[in-house]
Amino acid sequence: MEVDFFKDLETEIKEKLKDFGYPIPSFAELRKQHISATEAHLSYKHYDIKNLVLHFLTVTERRIPIKKWNIHISPRLQNRPETANMVSMLSHGVDVNPFLSKQVKARHQNKDNKTDLLRFEWGIHHIHFEEGGKGDDMLFVYFDGAYLLDILLHEKKEVGNVTWTNTSLIQILHDYWPQAISRAILQTGSKEILTQEERRILRKKAGNTTVTVEDGTEYLPLGGSFTSSKHPARAIIGTDRLVDRVRVLEHWVLHNEQVIRQALDLHDRDIDIKLVLDENYMPQVFEVTKRALLNLIPNDEKTIA
Q: Does residue 57 come out as left (phi exceeding 0), alpha (psi in the -120 to 50 range) or beta?
A: alpha
- Give the pLDDT of residue 229: 92
DSSP assignment string, the chain: ----HHHHHHHHHHHHHHHHT-----HHHHHTT-TTHHHHHHH-TTHHHHHHHHHHHHHHHHS---S-PPEEE-GGGTT-GGGHHHHHHHHTT---GGGS-GGGG-S-TTSTTT--HHHHHH-EEEEEEETTTEEEEEEEEEETTEEEEEEEEPP-TTTT---TT-THHHHHHHHH-GGGTGGGEEESS------HHHHHHHHHTT----EE-TTS-EE--TT--B-TTSSBHHHHHHHHHHHHHHHHHHHHHHT-HHHHHHHHT-SSS---EEEEE-TTS-EEEEETTTTEEEEEEGGGTEEE-
Sign of the Cα torsion 158, 116, 128, 178 reads negative
Instruction: Please tell me the distance from the alpha carbon of residue 26 to that of residue 22, in angstroms, as a whole number.
Output: 13
- Give the pLDDT of residue 231: 95
In this structure, the chain runs to a length of 305
162 to each of 201, 271, 273, how far by Cα in Å?
12, 59, 53
Instruction: Please tell me the distance from the alpha carbon of residue 299 to that of residue 15, in angstroms, as a whole number.
Output: 30
- Give the pLDDT of residue 79: 87
- Give, for all 305 residues of the chain, the pLDDT tens digit: 789 999 999 999 999 999 999 999 999 999 888 766 666 666 678 999 999 999 999 999 999 999 999 999 999 998 899 999 999 999 999 999 999 999 999 999 989 889 999 999 999 999 999 999 999 999 999 999 999 999 999 887 666 788 999 999 999 999 999 999 999 999 999 999 999 889 999 999 999 999 999 999 999 999 999 999 999 999 999 999 999 999 999 999 999 888 888 888 877 778 889 999 999 999 999 988 889 888 876 554 444 33
pTM of this structure? 0.92
- Give the pLDDT of residue 260: 86
236 to each of 53, 290, 303, how far by Cα in Å?
9, 35, 30
